[in-house]
A and B are shown apart, each in its own frame.
Chain A
Amino acid sequence: MICAEDLHKSFGPIKAVDGVSFVARDGEITALLGPNGAGKTTTLRMLYTLMHPDSGRVLVDGVDAQQQPLEAQRRLGVLPDARGLYRRLTARENIAYFAALHGLPDSEARARIEMLLQALSLRDIADRLAEGFSHGERLKTALARALIHDPPNVLLDEPTAGLDIMSTRSLRDFLRHLKQQGRCVLFSTHVMQEVSALCDRVVIIARGRVVAEGTPEALRARAHEHNLEEAFVKLIGTAALA
């Protein structure tokens, strides 16, 4: 479970995140929905300890991410916006590097790697250098690397950006699979279909603030719209006026 409590973050005069609070629960998929520049990536970066909030608090399974960053990192699997691989290492070596950094014993690491290669259908490219990977292959390798330590919480920044339809579908299936395993899955997106297809809860962010939060149905009802996209535009619009 991930709790964001009144997060603030400024870069110079720009308030990137201006009071964001929400909870992402275990066994649910939560979407952080918002237009470009709304503060989604900055919020996620504070959640996964890369950035320190100016004020506010992040709790990962009750662990304060500021006070005990290493403990919080162990409970997080992260697919950041930056998801570069080491081009001169194979997919397997890329994943094994992160396993070793997590301090997994060799036998356990090997078993986890095999399991993830299987689950993400990476077997065929496991021993190829990452140099010539397609976008989808890179993403899957980065995802396997992020999940190597079997984290109870999974954060993904725009996971489907740039993926073709088939890859997007299989990624969605994989996220549902993670949810069924009881994990807390939180991802950011600006794509509406993603939200209706996957999410249990939506947190809508605009201009660094949470403007609405709830199940997709509740948000539609609140905006008196049947279509989630219309609801989104309406909710963002009121935020812009306020």
Chain B
Amino acid sequence: MSMRALAAILVVFVKECRESLRDRRVLINSLLLGPLLGPALFVILLRLTISRELTQAERPLPVAVIGAASAPNLIAALEQGGVRVLPAVPDAAAAIRSQRLDLALRIPDSFARDFSAGRPAQVEVIYDSSRRDVIGSVQRLQALLEGYSRRTAAMRLTVRGLAPTLTTPVIVAERDQSTPAGRGALLFAMLPYFLILSALIGGMWLAIDSTAGERERASLEPLLINPVPREHILLGKVLATSAFSLASLSLGLVAFMVAGRLLPTDQLGMSFNLGARAAATILPLMAPLVLLIVTTEILVTAFSRSVREAQTYLGLLQLVPVIPSVVLSVLPLKPRLWMYAVPLLGQQLSVMQLLRGEAVPLAAALLCVAATLLLAQVAFSAARRSYRSERLAIAPLV
């Protein structure tokens, strides 16, 4: 590339950056919303989950008990397990349906008779399984009831001179091989998406402004009459948009590093490992993706009839990187080498590996970078074609 071409690209780059730095909309998107939206959502979501899980395990469990007098021993055992017995309510089922009550335990009058006779004595747990927030409480109560049942059975066997182990022919021991960091990564499966999203949002306004916006404000036609090949103008715009997108991504990474420290993840037996070293590996892995995202964004805006239409299309484009995130969380695929050659999926896998505290294999990383660059080149060729069209400045390309 000649000096003249480089100079022209630089001129466009500098002008686009200067104009954007004066545009509050671009600044808010690239330097505030883009980098912070993901981490903020992430922190809020995680805090909610973590604090709920922690408090629910320790908090007294209020249960409305109907017929408590029939089973004083059972009640004493439950209270020891953290249950706070609420007075009986007249119509428990209705109260639960109308969400005035979380769950209730009914002990029928026949309980004492059946229990002392050695017959299975029934108790009823009344709850609404469509209310996700009470499921934890229901499971706690069920575990307490089962524990009481097992202890009673063991005592009865012992009294009759039998070994309590008779009723446990098979015992299951669970050996979870996930490391704390691995369990964390499962919870953090959405993080790569948020990172990609920050790059998308970071470049979005500049992409719209520099093509569809210029056309709408009638400044594209005079620009294209200048003696500069159109692909150099395009390249300047791509680089300026990439700079903002990359800035958004970098700020997003820093925000995630800070967020990791603010989260009480170790209380859940997990660790969230986005240290400087992982971040330094993520950035070069994501840089080709930034180019791909930006050229795609500019390509889409070149085909849009107006700024508003471009906004709509780019809004939809933001949903595309969700696909690998969803696929990976629904079908936990074993990472294979070819997967790194799929842009978005490759970055997703790499970031998750880095979060688990593992290293990304060099071959995989190179494949990921090369494949993404190749697709970015294809997108750039398409954008160049649209820029060469004589209708670009005048009317949208349909």
Contacts and interface: CB of A to CB of B under 8 A. Distances in A.
B220 interface: yes
A89 B219 contact: no
A69 B161 CA distance: 105
A146 B8 CA distance: 17
A195 interface: no
A82 B218 contact: yes
Contact of A82 (B7, B19, B227, B393): B393
Contacts, number: 75
A52 interface: yes
A145 B217 contact: no
Contacts of B394: 45, 50, 82
Interface stretch (A98-106, A185-193, A223-231): A98-106
Interface in B182-225: 214, 217-225
Nearest to A131: B22
Interface in A87-127: 87-89, 93, 97-98, 100-103
A51 B221 contact: no
B153 interface: no
B94 interface: no
Interface in B14-45: 15, 18-19, 22-23
Given A70-B229, A74-B227, A88-B22, A82 B221 contact: yes
Contact of B222 (A52, A84, A89, A103): A84
A206 interface: no
A58 interface: no
B23 A49 contact: no
A81 B393 CA distance: 12
B4 interface: yes
Contacts of A208: none
Contact of B225 (A49, A52, A88): A49
8 contacts: A45-B394, A49-B225, A50-B393, A73-B225, A84-B219, A84-B222, A103-B7, A103-B8
Contact of B221 (A50, A74, A97): A50
Contacts of A74: 227
B146 interface: no
A101 B227 CA distance: 7
A85 interface: yes
Given A73-B227, A89-B18, A50 B390 contact: yes
Given A50-B224, A78-B222, A88 B19 contact: yes
Contacts of B393: 50, 82
A219 B221 CA distance: 34
Contacts of A85: 219
Top 3 A-B pairs ranked by shortest CB distance?
A: A84-B218, A82-B218, A84-B219
Interface of B: 4, 7-8, 11-12, 15, 18-19, 22-23, 214, 217-229, 390, 393-394
A73 B223 CA distance: 11
Contact of A83 (B7, B19, B222, B228): B222
Contact of A142 (B19, B214, B222): B222
A232 to B, nearest CB: 28
A216 interface: no
A76 interface: yes
A85 B219 CA distance: 6
A105 B390 CA distance: 30
B227 A50 contact: no
Contacts of A142: 222
Contacts of B225: 48-50, 73, 76, 78, 80
A48 B390 CA distance: 12
A82 B228 contact: no
A101 B393 CA distance: 17
Which of A45, A81, A97 is packed against the most chain B CB atoms within 10 Å?
A97
A145 B15 contact: no
A78 B224 CA distance: 11
Given A51-B390, A70-B227, A82-B393, A101 B8 contact: yes
Contacts of A71: 227
Nearest to A149: B227
A38 to B, nearest CB: 18
A67 to B, nearest CB: 14
Interface in A192-217: none
A174 interface: no
Contacts of A97: 11, 15
Interface in A138-159: 142, 145-146
